[in-house]
């Protein structure tokens, strides 16, 4: 069960990506889960979601953690007992986690044409801009960046359209920047993105230390 990709964007920050090819039974073997995780797993109706859930636990193990080291606040934000920041994502046959000492978020999305039809929900032309590059990929990066920044906010209630912005970017650079402005939470983020050959886009956001409004 190999790791698909490991990225170290900066010191004390690691990204681990898993390509889910194993059966549910294989993923469950030897995996110690706490009571809450067992209940969550058994409550999932989709085997795809169950496999995603378990693959994340394997990524945790690879990073030196156990399921018992992970917990969630009342808004569903994942937290680690040692105080480090963690973000989790899975989509179809991929899952990923990001662990950092900074506020950080990660998202992985399949590039799909239907995102064009919902762009009005998350693209704000006052803050966001589109180039003449592949529209589906652009929109997927914007969505992933906003989802990643959204995940850093611990209380919920953010609007992708109104409270989260991303600066212009080019595919070849694989980078951008963005911001969250909502009440007293005013932060800037470095955005990185990777196009996986299987037709998925991986995006993660790292807080810019000292960058506030």
3-state secondary structure 70-91: EEECCCCCEEECCCCEEEEEEE
Q: Taking Cα atoms as reference points, which of 203, 190, 179, 23 lies closest to residue 111?
A: 203
Residues pairing with 88 in the sheet = 97
How high does pLDDT run on average in the chain?
A: 94
59-85: pLDDT as tens digits:
999 999 999 999 999 999 999 999 999
Give me 206's structure tokens: 């790292």
Q: How confident is the model at residue 51 (pLDDT cuts 50, 70, 90)?
A: very high
- Give me the helices (H) in the chain, please: 24-28, 35-43, 47-62, 135-152, 160-163
Q: What is the pLDDT of residue 137?
A: 96
Q: What is the pLDDT of residue 173?
A: 96
d(CA 35, CA 56): 17
Q: Which residue has the tokens 């951008």?
A: 176
Q: What is the CATH number of domain 5-101?
A: 3.90.470.20
Is residue 208 within 8 A of residue 189, CB to CB? The reply is yes
Q: Indicate the SS3 state at residue 16.
A: strand
Q: Indicate the SS3 state at residue 213.
A: coil
Which burial class, exposed, middle or buried, applies to 200 when counting CB atoms under 10 A from its CB (0-12, 13-18, 19+)? buried
d(CA 142, CA 160): 10
Residues pairing with 5 in the sheet = 17
Question: Is a pLDDT exceeding 60 seen at residue 198?
Answer: yes
Question: Is a pLDDT exceeding 60 seen at residue 200?
Answer: yes
Calculate what percentage of the chain has a pLDDT beyond 90: 91
In the CATH hierarchy, which fold is given to the domain comprising 105-212? Ribosomal Protein L22; Chain A (3.90.470)
Same CATH fold assignment for domains 5-101 and 105-212: yes
Question: Is a pLDDT exceeding 70 seen at residue 1?
Answer: no
Ranges of each domain in the chain = 5-101, 105-212
Residues 6 or more apart whose Cβ sits within 8 Å of residue 180: 149, 150, 152, 153, 158, 163, 164, 186, 187, 189
Question: Is a pLDDT exceeding 90 seen at residue 139?
Answer: yes
Q: What is the pLDDT of residue 133?
A: 83
Q: What is the pLDDT of residue 132?
A: 77
Question: Is a pLDDT exceeding 80 seen at residue 213?
Answer: no
Q: Indicate the SS3 state at residue 54.
A: helix
Give me 13's structure tokens: 């920050």
pTM higher than the cut 0.75? yes
Cβ count near 144 (within 10 Å): 26
Question: Is a pLDDT exceeding 60 seen at residue 211?
Answer: no
Strand 78-80 relative to strand 185-196: parallel, antiparallel, unpaired? unpaired
């Amino acid at each position: 069960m190999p790791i698909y990709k490991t990225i170290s964007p900066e010191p004390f920050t690691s990204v681990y990506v898993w390509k889910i090819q194993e059966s549910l039974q294989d993923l469950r073997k030897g995996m110690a889960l706490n009571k809450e995780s067992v209940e969550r797993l058994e409550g999932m109706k989709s085997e795809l979601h169950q496999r995603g859930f378990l693959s994340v636990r394997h990524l945790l193990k690879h990073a030196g953690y156990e399921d018992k080291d992970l917990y969630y606040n009342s808004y569903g934000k994942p937290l680690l007992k040692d105080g480090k920041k963690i973000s989790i994502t899975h989509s179809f046959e991929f899952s990923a986690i990001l662990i950092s000492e900074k506020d950080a978020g990660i998202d992985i999305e399949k590039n799909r044409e239907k995102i064009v039809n919902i762009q009005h929900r998350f693209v704000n032309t006052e803050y966001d801009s589109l180039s003449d590059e592949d529209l589906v990929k652009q929109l997927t990066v914007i969505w992933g960046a906003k989802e990643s920044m959204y995940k850093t906010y611990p209380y919920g209630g953010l609007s992708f359209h109104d409270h989260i912005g991303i600066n212009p970017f080019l595919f070849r650079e694989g980078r951008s920047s963005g911001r969250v402005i909502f009440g007293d939470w005013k932060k800037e983020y470095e955005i990185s993105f990777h196009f996986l050959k299987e037709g998925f886009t991986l995006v993660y956001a790292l807080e810019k230390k000292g960058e506030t409004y």
